[in-house]
Amino acid sequence: MNLLSTAQMHSRAVEALGLDPNAIDLDTPEAVSAALRRAAGLLCPCAPTTLKRAVTGPLERLSESVDRLSELVEETLEALVASGDLMEIKPTNPELGPHQRLVFAGPPSFVRRTSGSVLVLGVAPDGLSPLGGDLTQRVEYVNHARWIHPRGTEDLGALLDQLGLLEVSAESWLKAPKMEAASLHVDRLGAMLEAQPPPGEPERLLVIEPTEPVTYYKGRWSNASERTGRFVGRRPQAYGADLWCFVELARGQVRRLLDFPLANSRYRGCDEAWCLQMALDAVAGHPQCFQTRKGVDGRVVIEFFSPVPLWSRRRWDFVGEPVAATGCLFAYSLGQAEADEEMEFARKRLWLTDRTS
pLDDT over 90 (residue 108): yes
The half-sphere exposure of 109 on its side-chain side, counting CA atoms within 13 A, is 16
Per the DSSP assignment, residues forming a β-bridge with 258 are 246
Inform me whether the pLDDT recorded for 104 exceeds 80.
yes
Q: Which helix (H) or strand (E) holds 53?
A: helix 48-59
**Cis peptide bond prior to 202, omega within 30° of 0:** no
Provide mean pLDDT across the span 41-56: 93
264 or 121: which leads in pLDDT: 121
pLDDT confidence of residue 50: 93
Is the pLDDT confidence value at 94 over 60? no
For residues 159 and 336, give the distance between their C-alpha atoms in angstroms, rounded to a whole number: 31
Residue 303: predicted pLDDT: 97
Q: How confident is the model at residue 279 (pLDDT cuts 50, 70, 90)?
A: very high
Q: Which residue has the higher pLDDT, 39 or 125?
A: 39
d(C-alpha 275, C-alpha 185), whole Å: 9
Instruction: Pick 141 or 65 by higher pLDDT.
Output: 141
pLDDT of residue 193: 97
pLDDT-derived band at 41 (thresholds 50, 70, 90) equals: very high
pLDDT value at residue 100: 67
Is the pLDDT assigned to residue 91 strictly greater than 80? no
**Phi-psi label, residue 110: left if phi above 0, alpha if psi -120 to 50, beta otherwise:** beta
Q: Which of 74, 78, 170 is nearest to 117 (CA)?
A: 170
**CB distance 142 to 29 below 8 Å:** no
CA dihedral (114, 119, 125, 130) in degrees, to 10, reads: 70
pTM across the whole model = 0.69
Q: How many other C-beta atoms are found inside a 10 Å radius of the C-beta of residue 276? A: 24
Q: Which residue has the higher pLDDT, 294 or 4?
A: 294
Q: How distant is the alpha carbon of residue 106 from its chain centre?
A: 15
Half-sphere exposure of 156 (CA within 13 A, CB side): 25
Mean pLDDT over the full length of the chain:
88
Q: Tell me: the pLDDT tens digits for 243-271? A: 999 999 998 889 999 999 998 888 889 99
- Quote the pLDDT of residue 127: 66
pLDDT at 288: 97
Cα–Cα distance for residue pair 157/110, rounded to 1 Å: 8
Name 291's bridge partners. Answer: 303
**Cis peptide upstream of residue 261 (ω within 30 degrees of 0):** yes
Residue 92 CB-density burial (10 A; 0-12 exposed, 13-18 middle, 19+ buried): exposed
Cβ proximity of 317 and 308 under 8 Å: no
Q: Is the predicted pLDDT of residue 317 greater than 90, yes or no?
A: no
> For residue 95, what pLDDT band results from cuts at 50, 70 and 90?
low
